[in-house]
Amino acid sequence: MPERNNSRYLRACRPAALLWENRRRPSGFKSHFSLLGLAVFLLLLCPAPSAAVPEAQLPAVFDSTILPFFTTQFKTGTMLGAGGVAIHYAKREISGEQAALVIVDGRTEYTTKYAELFYDLRDMPWSFYIYDHRGQGLSGRLLRDYQKGDVERFSNYVADLKEFIQTVVKKKPHKRLFILAHSMGGTIAIIYSIENPGILSGMILCSPMLQINTAPYPNELARLLTAGITDLGGGGFYVFGGGPYNPAKAFVGNDLTHSAARFALNKKLLHKFPADELGSPTFKWLYESFEGMKKANAGAGKLRMPILVLEGGADTVVGRKAESDFCAQAPDCVVARFPGGRHELMMEKDSIRNLVLKRIKEFITAH
Protein backbone atom coordinates (compact mmCIF):
# COMPACT_ATOMS: atom_id res chain seq x y z
CA MET A 1 0.00 0.00 0.00
CA PRO A 2 1.68 3.26 -1.04
CA GLU A 3 1.89 5.60 1.92
CA ARG A 4 0.29 8.47 0.03
CA ASN A 5 -3.02 6.53 -0.06
CA ASN A 6 -3.24 5.84 3.68
CA SER A 7 -5.35 8.92 4.46
CA ARG A 8 -8.38 7.52 2.65
CA TYR A 9 -8.47 4.62 5.11
CA LEU A 10 -8.38 7.05 8.03
CA ARG A 11 -11.23 9.23 6.83
CA ALA A 12 -13.65 7.74 9.36
CA CYS A 13 -11.23 8.12 12.28
CA ARG A 14 -10.15 11.70 12.86
CA PRO A 15 -7.78 11.13 15.85
CA ALA A 16 -5.70 8.55 14.00
CA ALA A 17 -5.67 10.66 10.85
CA LEU A 18 -4.29 13.69 12.68
CA LEU A 19 -1.55 11.75 14.42
CA TRP A 20 -0.63 9.83 11.28
CA GLU A 21 -0.35 12.94 9.15
CA ASN A 22 1.72 14.83 11.75
CA ARG A 23 3.92 12.02 13.08
CA ARG A 24 7.72 12.38 13.29
CA ARG A 25 9.70 9.49 11.86
CA PRO A 26 13.31 8.67 12.68
CA SER A 27 15.80 8.81 9.82
CA GLY A 28 16.11 5.54 7.99
CA PHE A 29 12.50 4.57 8.73
CA LYS A 30 11.40 2.21 5.97
CA SER A 31 8.21 3.04 4.10
CA HIS A 32 7.15 -0.60 4.09
CA PHE A 33 6.51 -0.31 7.84
CA SER A 34 3.75 2.22 7.14
CA LEU A 35 1.04 -0.43 6.81
CA LEU A 36 1.92 -1.91 10.21
CA GLY A 37 1.96 1.54 11.73
CA LEU A 38 -1.42 2.35 10.22
CA ALA A 39 -2.89 -0.84 11.67
CA VAL A 40 -1.57 -0.01 15.14
CA PHE A 41 -3.01 3.51 15.00
CA LEU A 42 -6.40 2.20 13.95
CA LEU A 43 -6.49 -0.40 16.72
CA LEU A 44 -5.41 2.00 19.44
CA LEU A 45 -7.28 5.14 18.48
CA CYS A 46 -10.31 4.05 16.49
CA PRO A 47 -12.99 2.20 18.45
CA ALA A 48 -14.82 -0.46 16.49
CA PRO A 49 -18.02 0.91 14.94
CA SER A 50 -21.13 0.12 16.93
CA ALA A 51 -23.12 -2.79 15.55
CA ALA A 52 -26.76 -2.32 14.61
CA VAL A 53 -29.24 -3.26 17.31
CA PRO A 54 -30.58 -6.79 16.62
CA GLU A 55 -34.31 -7.08 15.98
CA ALA A 56 -34.83 -9.27 19.05
CA GLN A 57 -33.51 -6.49 21.29
CA LEU A 58 -35.05 -3.59 19.40
CA PRO A 59 -38.29 -3.06 21.40
CA ALA A 60 -36.44 -2.70 24.71
CA VAL A 61 -33.39 -0.86 23.39
CA PHE A 62 -35.48 1.60 21.42
CA ASP A 63 -37.33 2.81 24.51
CA SER A 64 -34.31 2.80 26.83
CA THR A 65 -31.59 4.06 24.51
CA ILE A 66 -32.48 4.88 20.89
CA LEU A 67 -35.38 7.27 21.42
CA PRO A 68 -33.57 9.15 24.24
CA PHE A 69 -30.52 9.40 21.94
CA PHE A 70 -32.66 10.96 19.23
CA THR A 71 -34.55 13.36 21.50
CA THR A 72 -31.43 14.57 23.33
CA GLN A 73 -28.80 14.54 20.56
CA PHE A 74 -30.91 16.13 17.83
CA LYS A 75 -32.06 19.73 17.80
CA THR A 76 -35.44 20.40 16.24
CA GLY A 77 -36.71 23.48 14.49
CA THR A 78 -39.15 24.86 11.95
CA MET A 79 -38.53 26.70 8.71
CA LEU A 80 -40.89 28.07 6.09
CA GLY A 81 -41.13 26.13 2.85
CA ALA A 82 -42.72 27.09 -0.45
CA GLY A 83 -45.87 29.15 0.03
CA GLY A 84 -45.12 29.67 3.72
CA VAL A 85 -45.84 26.07 4.80
CA ALA A 86 -44.16 25.21 8.12
CA ILE A 87 -41.49 22.53 7.68
CA HIS A 88 -40.34 20.61 10.76
CA TYR A 89 -36.75 19.39 10.89
CA ALA A 90 -34.16 17.79 13.17
CA LYS A 91 -30.36 17.92 13.05
CA ARG A 92 -27.31 16.58 14.85
CA GLU A 93 -24.15 18.53 14.09
CA ILE A 94 -20.75 17.35 15.32
CA SER A 95 -17.34 18.99 15.47
CA GLY A 96 -14.62 17.52 13.28
CA GLU A 97 -17.15 16.04 10.89
CA GLN A 98 -15.98 14.41 7.68
CA ALA A 99 -19.34 14.67 5.89
CA ALA A 100 -22.95 15.78 6.26
CA LEU A 101 -25.84 13.44 5.47
CA VAL A 102 -29.31 14.74 4.61
CA ILE A 103 -32.16 12.23 4.86
CA VAL A 104 -35.00 12.82 2.40
CA ASP A 105 -37.61 10.31 3.45
CA GLY A 106 -40.62 8.81 1.71
CA ARG A 107 -44.35 9.41 1.68
CA THR A 108 -46.02 8.86 5.09
CA GLU A 109 -42.65 8.89 6.89
CA TYR A 110 -41.54 11.19 9.72
CA THR A 111 -38.32 12.15 11.49
CA THR A 112 -38.65 9.86 14.53
CA LYS A 113 -38.99 6.80 12.28
CA TYR A 114 -35.31 7.26 11.39
CA ALA A 115 -34.10 7.34 15.01
CA GLU A 116 -32.86 3.74 14.76
CA LEU A 117 -30.89 4.49 11.59
CA PHE A 118 -29.24 7.52 13.18
CA TYR A 119 -28.40 5.51 16.29
CA ASP A 120 -26.77 2.77 14.22
CA LEU A 121 -24.71 5.39 12.34
CA ARG A 122 -23.86 7.45 15.41
CA ASP A 123 -20.15 6.56 15.38
CA MET A 124 -19.64 7.75 11.81
CA PRO A 125 -17.99 11.19 11.59
CA TRP A 126 -21.05 12.70 9.97
CA SER A 127 -23.54 15.41 10.85
CA PHE A 128 -27.16 14.39 10.28
CA TYR A 129 -30.13 16.35 8.93
CA ILE A 130 -33.73 15.27 8.34
CA TYR A 131 -37.05 17.04 7.79
CA ASP A 132 -40.74 16.23 7.40
CA HIS A 133 -42.20 16.83 3.96
CA ARG A 134 -45.09 19.28 3.68
CA GLY A 135 -48.35 17.50 4.37
CA GLN A 136 -46.89 14.86 6.67
CA GLY A 137 -45.10 14.35 9.97
CA LEU A 138 -45.01 17.51 12.06
CA SER A 139 -44.88 19.81 9.04
CA GLY A 140 -47.91 21.81 7.96
CA ARG A 141 -50.80 19.73 6.61
CA LEU A 142 -52.39 20.90 3.38
CA LEU A 143 -56.02 19.80 3.65
CA ARG A 144 -58.69 20.06 6.32
CA ASP A 145 -58.61 16.27 6.48
CA TYR A 146 -55.01 15.98 7.69
CA GLN A 147 -54.97 12.22 7.03
CA LYS A 148 -54.93 12.77 3.27
CA GLY A 149 -51.53 12.70 1.61
CA ASP A 150 -51.67 15.68 -0.73
CA VAL A 151 -49.40 18.18 -2.46
CA GLU A 152 -50.16 21.31 -4.49
CA ARG A 153 -47.29 20.79 -6.94
CA PHE A 154 -44.49 18.26 -6.84
CA SER A 155 -42.09 21.14 -7.40
CA ASN A 156 -42.98 22.39 -3.91
CA TYR A 157 -41.32 19.29 -2.43
CA VAL A 158 -38.18 20.18 -4.37
CA ALA A 159 -38.36 23.83 -3.30
CA ASP A 160 -38.63 22.74 0.35
CA LEU A 161 -35.50 20.58 0.04
CA LYS A 162 -33.62 23.45 -1.58
CA GLU A 163 -34.65 25.81 1.20
CA PHE A 164 -33.71 23.24 3.85
CA ILE A 165 -30.23 22.77 2.42
CA GLN A 166 -29.67 26.50 1.93
CA THR A 167 -30.96 27.78 5.27
CA VAL A 168 -30.41 24.88 7.69
CA VAL A 169 -27.82 22.44 6.34
CA LYS A 170 -25.38 24.91 4.76
CA LYS A 171 -25.54 27.25 7.73
CA LYS A 172 -22.62 25.11 8.91
CA PRO A 173 -19.72 24.53 6.47
CA HIS A 174 -19.32 20.92 5.29
CA LYS A 175 -16.40 19.26 3.54
CA ARG A 176 -18.75 16.90 1.75
CA LEU A 177 -22.54 16.79 1.49
CA PHE A 178 -24.59 13.68 0.71
CA ILE A 179 -28.26 12.86 0.39
CA LEU A 180 -29.77 9.53 1.44
CA ALA A 181 -33.27 9.45 -0.03
CA HIS A 182 -36.03 6.87 0.21
CA SER A 183 -38.88 6.25 -2.26
CA MET A 184 -40.66 9.57 -2.92
CA GLY A 185 -37.66 11.28 -1.38
CA GLY A 186 -35.57 9.83 -4.19
CA THR A 187 -37.68 11.58 -6.82
CA ILE A 188 -37.37 14.85 -4.92
CA ALA A 189 -33.61 14.47 -4.46
CA ILE A 190 -33.04 13.66 -8.13
CA ILE A 191 -34.92 16.73 -9.35
CA TYR A 192 -33.14 18.90 -6.77
CA SER A 193 -29.78 17.61 -7.98
CA ILE A 194 -30.67 18.23 -11.63
CA GLU A 195 -31.70 21.81 -10.87
CA ASN A 196 -28.83 22.52 -8.45
CA PRO A 197 -25.65 20.96 -9.86
CA GLY A 198 -22.39 21.01 -7.95
CA ILE A 199 -23.91 21.02 -4.45
CA LEU A 200 -23.76 17.33 -3.54
CA SER A 201 -20.74 15.05 -3.25
CA GLY A 202 -22.93 12.02 -3.88
CA MET A 203 -26.42 10.60 -3.55
CA ILE A 204 -27.84 7.31 -2.25
CA LEU A 205 -31.30 6.41 -3.55
CA CYS A 206 -33.08 3.72 -1.56
CA SER A 207 -36.00 2.21 -3.53
CA PRO A 208 -36.44 5.47 -5.46
CA MET A 209 -39.92 6.25 -6.75
CA LEU A 210 -39.25 6.34 -10.49
CA GLN A 211 -42.30 4.26 -11.39
CA ILE A 212 -45.24 3.46 -9.12
CA ASN A 213 -46.85 0.04 -9.15
CA THR A 214 -50.43 0.92 -10.13
CA ALA A 215 -51.76 -2.65 -10.42
CA PRO A 216 -54.37 -3.71 -11.38
CA TYR A 217 -54.30 -0.73 -13.77
CA PRO A 218 -51.51 -0.39 -16.35
CA ASN A 219 -49.25 2.53 -15.52
CA GLU A 220 -50.28 4.70 -18.46
CA LEU A 221 -53.99 4.06 -17.89
CA ALA A 222 -53.58 5.00 -14.23
CA ARG A 223 -51.81 8.21 -15.22
CA LEU A 224 -54.55 9.21 -17.66
CA LEU A 225 -57.31 8.28 -15.21
CA THR A 226 -55.65 10.27 -12.44
CA ALA A 227 -55.24 13.30 -14.69
CA GLY A 228 -58.89 13.13 -15.72
CA ILE A 229 -60.21 12.86 -12.16
CA THR A 230 -57.99 15.74 -11.06
CA ASP A 231 -59.09 17.93 -13.99
CA LEU A 232 -62.73 17.27 -13.09
CA GLY A 233 -62.20 18.52 -9.54
CA GLY A 234 -61.65 15.21 -7.77
CA GLY A 235 -57.99 15.74 -6.92
CA GLY A 236 -58.74 16.00 -3.21
CA PHE A 237 -60.34 12.54 -2.99
CA TYR A 238 -58.44 9.51 -1.78
CA VAL A 239 -57.15 7.24 -4.56
CA PHE A 240 -59.26 4.13 -5.18
CA GLY A 241 -59.14 1.88 -2.13
CA GLY A 242 -57.49 4.56 0.00
CA GLY A 243 -58.43 5.93 3.38
CA PRO A 244 -57.10 7.18 6.72
CA TYR A 245 -54.17 5.53 8.49
CA ASN A 246 -55.18 2.08 9.73
CA PRO A 247 -53.44 1.09 12.99
CA ALA A 248 -54.91 -2.41 12.72
CA LYS A 249 -53.08 -3.23 9.49
CA ALA A 250 -51.52 -6.67 9.83
CA PHE A 251 -47.85 -7.50 9.39
CA VAL A 252 -48.71 -10.60 7.36
CA GLY A 253 -48.99 -9.67 3.70
CA ASN A 254 -47.39 -6.23 4.05
CA ASP A 255 -45.26 -5.04 1.12
CA LEU A 256 -42.77 -2.92 3.08
CA THR A 257 -40.58 -5.16 5.26
CA HIS A 258 -39.88 -8.71 6.47
CA SER A 259 -39.09 -7.37 9.95
CA ALA A 260 -41.99 -7.91 12.34
CA ALA A 261 -40.09 -5.97 15.00
CA ARG A 262 -39.62 -2.86 12.87
CA PHE A 263 -43.15 -3.06 11.49
CA ALA A 264 -44.48 -3.17 15.07
CA LEU A 265 -42.15 -0.36 16.16
CA ASN A 266 -43.53 1.94 13.47
CA LYS A 267 -47.08 1.27 14.67
CA LYS A 268 -45.99 1.85 18.26
CA LEU A 269 -44.42 5.19 17.36
CA LEU A 270 -47.52 6.35 15.53
CA HIS A 271 -49.63 5.38 18.54
CA LYS A 272 -47.27 7.35 20.79
CA PHE A 273 -47.06 10.31 18.38
CA PRO A 274 -50.42 10.37 16.52
CA ALA A 275 -49.62 13.75 14.94
CA ASP A 276 -47.29 11.83 12.60
CA GLU A 277 -50.08 9.66 11.19
CA LEU A 278 -50.87 9.90 7.48
CA GLY A 279 -53.34 7.95 5.35
CA SER A 280 -53.46 7.18 1.66
CA PRO A 281 -52.63 9.70 -1.07
CA THR A 282 -55.10 11.80 -3.00
CA PHE A 283 -55.56 11.76 -6.76
CA LYS A 284 -53.83 15.15 -6.84
CA TRP A 285 -50.77 13.72 -5.11
CA LEU A 286 -50.68 10.83 -7.57
CA TYR A 287 -51.04 13.18 -10.54
CA GLU A 288 -48.21 15.39 -9.30
CA SER A 289 -46.06 12.35 -8.59
CA PHE A 290 -46.43 11.14 -12.18
CA GLU A 291 -45.17 14.56 -13.27
CA GLY A 292 -42.28 14.38 -10.82
CA MET A 293 -41.22 10.90 -11.90
CA LYS A 294 -41.28 11.97 -15.54
CA LYS A 295 -38.94 14.87 -14.80
CA ALA A 296 -36.60 12.75 -12.67
CA ASN A 297 -36.28 10.01 -15.27
CA ALA A 298 -35.73 12.50 -18.10
CA GLY A 299 -32.88 14.22 -16.27
CA ALA A 300 -30.82 11.18 -15.27
CA GLY A 301 -28.12 11.95 -17.83
CA LYS A 302 -27.55 15.41 -16.33
CA LEU A 303 -26.45 14.13 -12.93
CA ARG A 304 -22.70 14.64 -12.50
CA MET A 305 -22.08 12.93 -9.17
CA PRO A 306 -21.60 9.40 -7.81
CA ILE A 307 -24.97 7.71 -7.25
CA LEU A 308 -25.77 4.47 -5.43
CA VAL A 309 -29.20 2.92 -5.97
CA LEU A 310 -30.31 0.44 -3.29
CA GLU A 311 -32.84 -1.93 -4.84
CA GLY A 312 -35.00 -4.51 -3.06
CA GLY A 313 -35.34 -7.69 -5.06
CA ALA A 314 -38.91 -8.20 -3.80
CA ASP A 315 -40.05 -4.57 -3.97
CA THR A 316 -43.62 -4.44 -5.28
CA VAL A 317 -44.27 -0.76 -4.46
CA VAL A 318 -42.05 0.82 -7.11
CA GLY A 319 -40.77 -0.44 -10.46
CA ARG A 320 -37.36 -2.10 -10.25
CA LYS A 321 -36.78 -1.90 -14.00
CA ALA A 322 -37.24 1.87 -13.83
CA GLU A 323 -34.46 2.01 -11.22
CA SER A 324 -32.10 0.05 -13.47
CA ASP A 325 -33.00 2.16 -16.51
CA PHE A 326 -32.39 5.37 -14.56
CA CYS A 327 -29.01 4.16 -13.35
CA ALA A 328 -28.00 3.15 -16.86
CA GLN A 329 -28.60 6.74 -18.03
CA ALA A 330 -26.75 8.43 -15.16
CA PRO A 331 -23.02 8.85 -15.89
CA ASP A 332 -21.77 7.55 -12.50
CA CYS A 333 -24.37 5.22 -11.01
CA VAL A 334 -24.26 1.75 -9.45
CA VAL A 335 -27.20 -0.47 -8.47
CA ALA A 336 -26.83 -2.59 -5.33
CA ARG A 337 -29.49 -5.31 -5.32
CA PHE A 338 -30.66 -7.05 -2.16
CA PRO A 339 -32.44 -10.33 -3.00
CA GLY A 340 -35.68 -10.69 -1.07
CA GLY A 341 -35.65 -7.10 0.12
CA ARG A 342 -38.98 -5.29 0.17
CA HIS A 343 -39.61 -1.58 -0.31
CA GLU A 344 -38.27 -0.25 3.01
CA LEU A 345 -34.72 -1.61 2.96
CA MET A 346 -33.61 0.53 5.90
CA MET A 347 -36.44 -1.01 7.96
CA GLU A 348 -35.85 -4.59 6.75
CA LYS A 349 -34.88 -7.70 8.71
CA ASP A 350 -31.33 -7.75 10.04
CA SER A 351 -29.85 -10.02 7.37
CA ILE A 352 -30.79 -7.49 4.68
CA ARG A 353 -30.61 -4.24 6.63
CA ASN A 354 -27.07 -4.83 7.88
CA LEU A 355 -25.87 -5.20 4.29
CA VAL A 356 -27.70 -2.00 3.37
CA LEU A 357 -26.00 -0.11 6.21
CA LYS A 358 -22.64 -1.48 5.09
CA ARG A 359 -23.14 -0.16 1.55
CA ILE A 360 -24.22 3.25 2.86
CA LYS A 361 -21.10 3.56 5.03
CA GLU A 362 -18.79 2.37 2.25
CA PHE A 363 -20.24 4.76 -0.31
CA ILE A 364 -19.95 7.88 1.82
CA THR A 365 -16.50 6.96 3.12
CA ALA A 366 -15.22 6.33 -0.42
CA HIS A 367 -16.52 9.59 -1.88
Q: What is the pLDDT of residue 51?
A: 76
Lowest mean pLDDT among 26-35, 49-58, 129-138: 26-35
pLDDT tens digits, 282-312 = 999 999 999 999 999 999 999 999 999 999 9
Using the predicted structure, report yes or no on whether residue 73 has a pLDDT greater than 50. yes
Contact 346, 205 (CB under 8 A): no
Using the predicted structure, report yes or no on whether residue 360 has a pLDDT greater than 80. yes
pLDDT tens digits, 105-121 = 999 999 999 999 999 99
d(CA 205, CA 68): 28
Domain boundaries, the chain: 3-45, 55-366
23: helix, coil or strand?
coil
Q: What is the pLDDT of residue 193?
A: 99
d(CA 202, CA 177): 7
CA distances from 58 to 52, 66, 119, 265, 290 (A): 10, 9, 12, 8, 37
Level-2 CATH architecture, domain 55-366: 3-Layer(aba) Sandwich (3.40)
Q: What is the pLDDT of residue 354?
A: 98
In eight-state DSSP terms, residue 231 is I
Residue among 198, 326, 270, 322 at smallest CA distance from 262: 270
pLDDT tens digits, 213-256 = 999 999 999 999 999 999 999 999 999 999 999 999 999 999 99
Q: What is the pLDDT of residue 1?
A: 39
Using the predicted structure, report yes or no on whether residue 100 has a pLDDT greater than 80. yes
**Per-position DSSP letters for 158-225, written without gaps between them:** HHHHHHHHHHTGGGS--S-EEEEEETHHHHHHHHHHHHSTTS-SEEEEES--SSB--TTS-HHHHHHH
Using the predicted structure, report yes or no on whether residue 25 has a pLDDT greater than 80. no
Maximum distance among all Cα pairs of the chain, rounded to whole angstroms: 82
Cα dihedral across residues 292, 298, 303, 308: positive or negative? positive
Using the predicted structure, report yes or no on whether residue 323 has a pLDDT greater than 90. yes
Q: What is the pLDDT of residue 19?
A: 45
Return the HEC string of 289-301: HHHHHHHHHHCHH
The larger pLDDT score, comparing residue 306 to residue 9, is at 306
Q: What is the pLDDT of residue 111?
A: 99
Q: What is the pLDDT of residue 40?
A: 54
d(CA 10, CA 39): 10
